Amino acid sequence: MRALLLSTLPLLLSACVVHSQTGEGTEANEADKPDAPAAEEGAAAEGGARSGACSIPEGMTPAKPALAMPQIAAPEDVSFEREAAMLEVDENGKVKVSFEFSARNNASEAVELAVGFAWRIQETGGGGTSLSGFEIVGGRGELERCTIQGPEEMQQPFRDELLIVRISVEPGKTETIKGAYVGEVDQADKPQTLFGFHDRFVHNWKNKNWDWPYTKRKAYAEIKDELKPFHGRFGLGKAGRSQITIRSSKGEVWMRTMSHEQVTEKLRIPGTFRWSFWGGDKPAQVEFEYMPGVELMREIEVFRKIIKENRYDLRARIRLADLAGFAGDHEARVSILEALLKYWKKHHKEQMLHDANDVRGAAYVALVKSLLAIDEKGEAARRADEGIGVIKKLEEAGHDSEMNRMAREWLEKQL
């Protein structure tokens, strides 16, 4: 993912953090304003930000810039019950993120939250202003902005950028904090995911000794110059209940794959989908891939041709299964997934789909979900039990990943 707001990638962060008692307050406005110049030490930055010497609040850890819910530094007496984010993607890879979350103060006295981002910027291109374009839209907090330079003797020098708003929460009260920003995701020259999860060996496909990649098939040439999807990740926050909604700016079905399918759903608004996590059982991040400009049914037709050329191409079957899911053709998807699992044992190692890149857990989730969609409850339960057995063997072999754990827990609920 391209870093948010780096000087080498001029990007607008139209943004804001606003807050209100018990969820009532001022909505964040959207403003398209030019990037502000760097502020002098101790001076006020454009947009009302205060810039100068500061330290990163306890509870925040500088991280690589990425799309995510904001970081929060808060006392232990503060609980976070729910969070929500809307990601609107456009045809150029820009992602407009609107977010909100609730914070409840369970203490007998007022507490202060620090809400925002702490980013670690690698100094590889001579520096420059890395974070810009912020403005406060409403609320009582003032945006604080500062840079903390890393040790000069480092082989790979870095600086930490901090942008936060401090928010007071009265005892026994709940604050709803809202905000927005704009980021970008990377565009690739071919699909990068397997059932929405990053393909660990996607960059090894070009090895001239391997004949299995579908990029070498004759049918793939029909769509090669167009099949350049955007791949992104979104980091979740602290709340026990999370809803992440993603939609295309044009209201079209651009989504091609989403991780954690067991908690995804298609909404009535065209081109809009959602992840919902409850009870604190949630991943650190979700992944997605979308592609504007290529009609979904045309892509399906091409991948059907690819499978006819090589029926053992597991990645082509995974891609076709994802496409069929977004097309709503669950009967076809069941057939595709059954063939995928049938051919898996003999061909997965030669296609580098083993160990940490073994996505059969996600495949069983997809199969069971599609069986349930066509009311095949008995077969869904049988396949769920089969999938649990596969995942347990992977876990016993040391591949107890978050993906496998969450897939197994969901499959167990289907029995």
378, part of any domain: yes
- For residue 37, being part of any structural domain is answered with yes
Tokens describing residue 271: 């081109």
pLDDT at 121: 86
Last residue of a domain, one of 184, 200, 228: 184
d(C-alpha 10, C-alpha 36), whole Å: 11
Name the residue type at position 45.
A
404-413 CB contacts, 8 Å cutoff, 24+ apart: 404/361, 406/260, 406/262, 406/281, 406/283, 407/262, 407/361, 407/362, 407/364, 407/365, 408/361, 409/281, 410/262, 410/263, 410/365, 411/364, 411/365, 411/368, 411/384, 411/385, 411/387, 412/384, 412/388
Q: Are residues 223 and 124 in the same domain?
A: no
Q: What is the pLDDT of residue 208?
A: 65
Q: What is the pLDDT of residue 205?
A: 78
Q: Domain check: are 166 and 272 in the same one?
A: no
Q: Is residue 8 part of a domain?
A: no
How far apart (Å, rounded) are the C-alpha atoms in residues 414 and 262? 11
Which residue segment(s) compose the domain that 30 sits in?
16-184
Which residue, of 184, 211, 234, is where some domain finishes? 184
Residues 234 and 376 occupy one common structural domain: yes
- Domains in the chain: how many in total? 2
pLDDT along the chain (415 residues), means of 10: 36 42 38 33 39 79 90 95 96 92 96 91 56 47 84 80 90 91 90 95 75 90 93 94 96 96 96 91 94 94 96 97 97 98 96 94 98 98 98 93 95 96
In a shared domain, residues 196 and 172: no
Q: What is the pLDDT of residue 275?
A: 98
